[in-house]
Amino acid sequence: MAALTMTELLAVPGLDRTLEPTLQKALDGKAKPPGALGRIEELALTLGLIQRRVRPAVKQPVLLVFAGDHGLTRSGVAAFPSGVTVAMVDTLLAGKASANAFARVVGAQVRVIDAGVAADLSDRRGLIQAKIARGTADASVEPAMTPQHAEAALLAGARLANEAIADGADLIALGEMGIGNSASAALLMHRLAPALLEDCVGPGAGQSQDGMRRKRAVLARAAARSNAAAPMDVLAQFGGFEIAMMAGALLAAAKTGVPILVDGFIGTAAALLAIRLAPGARDYCLFAHASAETGHRLMLQRLEARPLLELDMRLGEGTGALLAVPLVKAACALLSEVAELADVLEAAG
């Protein structure tokens, strides 16, 4: 598949809904009272529209975990040092992270990508190399990345999603790993939702009261440094390479007609960016869960999104997206495996 240009990547049409009456009739005709399976029926209809068939199927889900570091950590926005990103990448590659365990349970493949880790990981076996730079710059004092790097990260994410789809992926789940990325996501939410900055800043991987005061002050400095509002400008000023690649992957999957499972706060910030760049991409997003991270519910409201799960999670890695995979598979099975009500009534005499 030829590499996409930015113009091509952003040309994402909304869903063609001509099949909706047929899908609704099929759902209403199943052996159950109409609407009795609630949001699973809504999910089944959405999947049928995305895949453009009456019997949608998900057999090969793939989790793309993008890893990157953030210059904001040098100003103290995170409770852990950037070196933890490397350690967690190694844990993911070893198959011992929470995301790996959940992926095995739900039958998903995990692909780990170096989007912009602040270390040389070229010797890591199994790691997909896509590094834009060794972490972003400190967004509290200068732009996080150049416009060229922002575009390159989006296109890299798109390429990696297209490669997974070419290998058979029929559901893309998005995950991330990066110390400091909740700070970057808060700034993206602040400008793109939009929302008051104070409503966007949460504890991330864990912050003390002093740590939260410091994080809020650093992000206030960052926000005051630039008045960027256009999506690509906001990405360059405040974003992260892993967030940009998630957005690019989402856009590519939507363009190809593959459903996307969006994870928690950082994943939803990537989705927010993608949707502000190409509004049609919203139709292909399945929002997995409501994170316990501050601001996530407000961001979901701005996107008019109802998450499938609410489990008080705030880990990242794509763990919430993975836990929603069985619901997606169940929704497909509703349309493809459940008997017709007419047949049941005929058998009953």
pLDDT digits (tens, 9 = 90+) for 184-201: 999 999 999 999 999 999
303-328 pLDDT, tens per residue? 999 999 999 998 999 999 999 999 99
Residue 50 has pLDDT above 80, yes or no: yes
- Write down the residue that tokens 């040098």 correspond to: 74
Question: Are the C-beta atoms of residues 289 and 308 closer than 8 Å to each other?
Answer: yes
User: Phi, psi at residue 347, to the nearest 5°?
Assistant: -65, -30
Question: Are the C-beta atoms of residues 218 and 44 closer than 8 Å to each other?
Answer: no
Beta-strand pair 285-287/61-68 = unpaired
- Predicted pLDDT of residue 212: 82
- Predicted pLDDT of residue 99: 98
Residue 103 has pLDDT above 90, yes or no: yes
Average pLDDT over every residue of 282-286:
98
pLDDT-based confidence at residue 124 (cuts at 50, 70, 90): very high
What fold, for 61-326? Rossmann fold (3.40.50)
Establish whether 317 is a catalytic residue: yes
Residue 82 has pLDDT above 90, yes or no: no
Q: Considering the chain, what is the average pLDDT of its residues?
A: 96
Structure tokens at 251: 């856009």
Residue 349 has pLDDT above 90, yes or no: no
Question: Are the C-beta atoms of residues 29 and 342 closer than 8 Å to each other?
Answer: yes
b/e sequence 193-206, b meaning 16+ C-beta within 10 Å: bebebeebbbbbbe
Contacts of 287 (CB under 8 A, 6+ apart): 262, 268, 271, 300, 303, 305, 306, 307, 308
- Write down the residue that tokens 């950082």 correspond to: 266
- Predicted pLDDT of residue 211: 77
Q: Which of these is catalytic: 176, 242, 293, 317?
A: 317
pLDDT-based confidence at residue 59 (cuts at 50, 70, 90): very high
Among residues 169, 159, 168, which one has the least CA distance to residue 128? 159
- Predicted pLDDT of residue 118: 97
Give the C-alpha distances (Å, rounded to integers) separating 199 from 141, 190, 239, 299: 22, 8, 18, 10
**Domain ranges within the chain, ordered by starting residue:** 16-57+333-347, 61-326
Contacts of 251 (CB under 8 A, 6+ apart): 9, 10, 12, 154, 157, 158, 274, 277, 278, 281
- Predicted pLDDT of residue 324: 98
- Predicted pLDDT of residue 206: 67
2-31 pLDDT, tens per residue? 788 999 999 999 999 999 999 999 999 999
The span from the CA of 330 to the CA of 338, in Å, is: 11
Residue 1 has pLDDT above 70, yes or no: no
pLDDT-based confidence at residue 79 (cuts at 50, 70, 90): confident
Radius of gyration of the chain measured on its C-alpha atoms: 20
The span from the CA of 297 to the CA of 294, in Å, is: 8
High-pLDDT (> 90) share of the chain, %: 91
pTM, to two decimals: 0.96
pLDDT-based confidence at residue 333 (cuts at 50, 70, 90): very high
CATH code for the part of the protein at 16-57+333-347: 1.10.1610.10
201-258 pLDDT, tens per residue? 987 666 777 878 899 999 999 999 999 999 999 999 999 999 999 999 999 999 999 9
